[in-house]
Amino acid sequence: MPPSVSASWSFTEDDFAAITKALDRFLSDCNARCALLVDRTGQLVATVGERPSFDPTAFATLTAADFSANDQLAKLIGENDFNSLFHQGEKESMYLADISRRVILVVLFDNRTTLGLVRLKLRHTVGELSQLFDNVFTRSAQAAGAPNVLAGADDEIDKLFQ
Considering only residues 3-32, where is the footprint of another protein by CB under 8 A?
3-13, 15-16
Tell me whether residue 5 or residue 77 sits nearer to another protein (CB atom): 5
Distance CA 36, CA 104 (A): 8
| Position among 91, 111, 146, 161 found at the interface with another protein (CB under 8 A) | 161
Distance CA 49, CA 44 (A): 15
Distance CA 65, CA 85 (A): 13
Q: Is 138 in the site for another protein (CB under 8 A)?
A: no
Q: Is 146 in the site for another protein (CB under 8 A)?
A: no
Distance CA 46, CA 137 (A): 16
Considering only residues 66-95, where is the footprint of another protein by CB under 8 A?
68-69, 72
Q: Is 160 in the site for another protein (CB under 8 A)?
A: yes
Is residue 30 within 8 A of residue 125, CB to CB? The reply is no
Residue 108 has a CB neighbour count (10 Å cut-off) of 22
Q: What is the DSSP letter of 102?
A: T
Q: Contact letters (x/-) for another protein, 117-136, by CB under 8 A?
A: --------------------
Distance CA 109, CA 35 (A): 9
Give the chain's length: 162
Tell me whether residue 106 or residue 118 sits nearer to another protein (CB atom): 106
| Position among 21, 24, 41, 144 found at the interface with another protein (CB under 8 A) | 41
| Position among 29, 48, 61, 83 found at the interface with another protein (CB under 8 A) | 61
Tell me whether residue 55 or residue 90 sits nearer to another protein (CB atom): 55
Q: What is the DSSP letter of 2?
A: -
Q: What is the DSSP letter of 4?
A: T
Give residues in contact with another protein (CB under 8 A): 2-13, 15-16, 39-43, 45, 55, 57-58, 61-62, 65, 68-69, 72, 148-154, 156-158, 160-161
